Amino acid sequence: MASRRAFSTQVMSCVLAVALLAGCSQPSPQAPLGTPSATPSSATSRTDAPVTPSASSSAATLGSDADRATAYARVTSELADFLDAWKTKGYAEASKAYLAPAMQATSPDDVLVLASGRVVNVRPDQWTSADLFVVYVDFDLTFAGSFGAWGNGRSSRFVTATARTGTIPYVLDFATGP
């Protein structure tokens, strides 16, 4: 009879130990998951995981998404307009209207002649605000004569868009790297 009691006591002790250990692996309801602890923790600790914002439909989140969508649509349209102006009016005039001063032609003789061009794809890269952001753009360009650093065919550039007042919403600055 004593061995039965000892066995049942051992079983209860094991069940209690497993229950306690299982309870210890769950975070405390008072401590948020993203709060770092005062003591170092292991790499597998739940408090080391990045905190992901909840997927709520707050007005701020929707406003930001709407601002981005509007800004990306505007810059895509502006890039197409820039290519059209480059083709029809020449780089010197198009660059003065659309580009940052450092990107503008210094003389009408120092330009490439664009025979055709289109925006193939615009992908978000860096976002500060609707007034300042960077996109990665794929162009399809064909030049009459020299094509410079652009190349005929597909060419990709990082484009920084900085808001301005007037009929053309952004000053554009092209770069081959971020």
pTM here? 0.65
Greater confidence (33 vs 113) lies with 113
Give the pair of three-digit tokens for residue 12: 């209860």
Closest of 89, 71, 85, 91 to residue 135, by C-alpha: 71
In the chain, the percentage of residues whose pLDDT exceeds 70 is 63
DSSP run (H or E) holding 115:
strand 114-129
Indicate the fold that domain 72-175 takes in CATH. Answer: Nuclear Transport Factor 2; Chain: A, (3.10.450)
Query: What single letter denotes the amino acid at residue 18?
Result: V
CA 117 to chain centre: 26
End-to-end CA distance of the chain: 79
- Around Cβ 32, how many Cβ atoms within 10 Å? 10
What digits encode the pLDDT tens for the residues 140-174?
999 998 898 899 999 999 999 999 998 999 999 99
* pLDDT beyond 90 at 136: yes
